[in-house]
Chains A and B, each alone.
Chain A
Amino acid sequence: MTSTTVKAPRATAERARSDARATDRSRASRKRTGPSDNRIGWGFAAPFTVLFAVFLVWPLLHGFYLSFTGQSLTGQGGELIGVANYAEAFADGDMWRSMLNTLWFTVLSTIPLVVVALVLAILVNTGLPGQWLWRLSFFLPYLLASTVVSLFWIQLYSPTLGPINNVLGTLGLPQPAWLQDPDTAMIAVVATTVWWTVGFNFLLYLAALQNIPDQQYEAASLDGAGRWRSLLSITIPQLGPTTGLIVILQVLASLKVFDQIYQMTTGGPAGSTRSAVQYIFDTGFTGYRFGYSSAISYIFFAVIVVISIAQFSITARNRKGAQK
């Protein structure tokens, strides 16, 4: 028991009084709730708590305040203007466009990022030799900075110099302008994202696959179940919780997309790939409208919270259903 022992008051009378008050307080609180490690506990918690308060809680609150002002980067317009920013945002076609682009990107990217990861993990997990080589091939892109990925793929998608159109041309297929065409830019960005980040989900699936007890497969094969049978009736159901988690994580990650789109298309052509985060960035750091940008940040934050809560409650319900 390290208790908060209060030193005997020595110095001034004032100090003595305040120490006595502190003693009374801590005695009283110990009787009520019994926290015994106040001093040491806060000692351990302090470094994190200070950073947390200054660089997370405060910006969060300040951003909320800013969203009700007309603040600009130059320092003007700091006075409160009520909900004008929010009213403007809800009537702002560009904002809605960026939100819809983000949702569309999330749908388009999450599906392959889950399905391809699962297929890769099942194929690798069949016990082929060269495990490290397969893992390396699929996980390596995940280690690249977004800028490196973008530089690689801008080259690959180049309408005239890119190998993709080279191959399509040889096969006699149409050669789209990829990143420069509003019809194909989003698909191109999604394909790059799948290449870049599927390795992470792949490793999560691989780990989950290795946790499925072998006895289940042995029992199934004694019952005469083939590989397909075992895959459908053991592997996929056993991976259910992992899939639920990967979907949740992937949706949240995809909603926050910015880097690769900004670098590959700057949100274009004609705003067809501009994401919500980029719209926050553009209004804040190109338009210098901090107040308006904060309001959009909060709208976006609300969207993320709603989607997260929805996802978690669906997963929780499924889990409960599975237990019954």
Chain B
Amino acid sequence: MTAPALAPTSDLRAPTADRGRKGHKPGQKPFGPMAVLSVVILVVLAVLWLLPFLWSLATSFKSETDAAATPQTWIPAGGFTLDAYRGVLEQGNIPVWLFNSLFTSIVITLIVVATSALVAYAFSRLDFRGKKWLYVATIASIIIPPQVLIVPLFYQMLAFDMVDTYWGIILPQAIAPAMVFVLKKFFDQVPIELEDAARVDGAGRIRVFFTILLPLSRPILGAVSIFVFIGAWNNFLWPFIVTNDASLLTLPVGLQTIESAYGIQYAQNMAAAVLAALPLILVFLFFQRQIIKGISTTGFGGQ
């Protein structure tokens, strides 16, 4: 399930808008029987949601013998060990895949944010011939599932000699019409008077864009960047199609190959999965507020 999704823009207000309402309502009694029941249900569900993580984590610290023993237990007979992690890291591919994912995702994010912000500004503020057509085409293309383009895109990559290259991974992912829409909506709500003042003082369009509009748009640009990054980082189908060379695989695609490469090694599989999960979890812990706010204000996600 990967495609930028389009959702409510109602909360997407200009920088003057109020922000940051806290999660609970005043004036409700915290401890009725209903409240107790809801806490119990919530705790059960939260545990249910965390268990797959914990089980996988536990397995990754088992020896291969213990990971294949029946019946499985939380605490292995032979005690916990780091062998699986050692084994995975010795194969040497994970750091390479990590770099590939990081590099391609960052470049994709930079291209998408830069080109989308520029065109969104043109849609919002400038009057040029063909603008209406370009805008309609851009909005209409949001409905196109990237998955239906895999065959012609691969054909194109063959023609451009981009199969098994970084550019082959990056370029087809470097357009996000939905993000153009989000940014255009945001620019529309920035008061034009702010720009007019600067333009009276003789600043050109480009200067106004960089010195006035972009600084005002930092939160929305942050949200868009995070989503494009998460989407690119987790994208599976396209990198899976366009790369074959083990040294060019991204992390999600690389992981898919380890099962066949390592044979059935439960502990190592889990160790690799845990290692692959860590970077984005760290990103989330650092940017938790921006990510949650980004989802609630723009409703855009990577998957």
Which A residues lie at the B interface, using CB under 8 A?
2, 29, 33-42, 44-45, 47-49, 51-52, 54-60, 62-63, 66, 71, 120, 123-128, 131-148, 151-153, 155-156, 160-163, 166, 169, 193, 195, 197, 200, 203-204, 206-208, 210-211, 214, 217-218, 221, 227-228, 241-242, 245-246, 249, 252-260, 263, 277, 280-281, 284-285, 290, 293-294, 297-298, 300-301, 304-305, 308
Contacts and interface: CB of A to CB of B under 8 A. Distances in A.
Going nearest first, the 7 A-B pairs with the smallest beta carbon separation are: A127-B24, A41-B128, A207-B296, A44-B122, A63-B152, A48-B119, A59-B152
Contacts of A242: 8
A34 B297 CA distance: 35
24 contacts: A35-B128, A37-B122, A40-B126, A48-B118, A126-B24, A126-B35, A127-B28, A134-B42, A137-B46, A140-B281, A141-B52, A145-B233, A147-B236, A147-B255, A155-B56, A155-B59, A166-B71, A207-B297, A210-B23, A252-B3, A253-B5, A284-B151, A297-B151, A305-B143
A36 B266 CA distance: 65
B150 interface: yes
DSSP class of A's interface residues: helix, strand, loop or mixed? helix
Contacts of A294: 151-152
A135 B301 CA distance: 16
A66 B1 contact: no
B149 interface: yes
Contact of B252 (A36, A60, A147, A256): A147
Contacts of A217: 25, 27-28
B192 interface: no
Contacts, number: 338
B288 A47 contact: no
A174 B206 CA distance: 68
A214 B1 contact: no
A293 B151 contact: yes
Interface of B: 1-3, 5-8, 10-11, 21-28, 30, 32, 34-35, 38-39, 41-42, 45-46, 49-53, 55-56, 59, 67-68, 70-72, 111, 114-116, 118-119, 121-123, 126-131, 134, 137-138, 141, 143-145, 147-156, 171-172, 174-175, 177, 180, 204-206, 209, 230, 233-234, 236-237, 241, 251-253, 255-256, 259, 266, 269-270, 272-273, 276-277, 280-281, 283-284, 288, 292, 295-297, 299, 301, 303
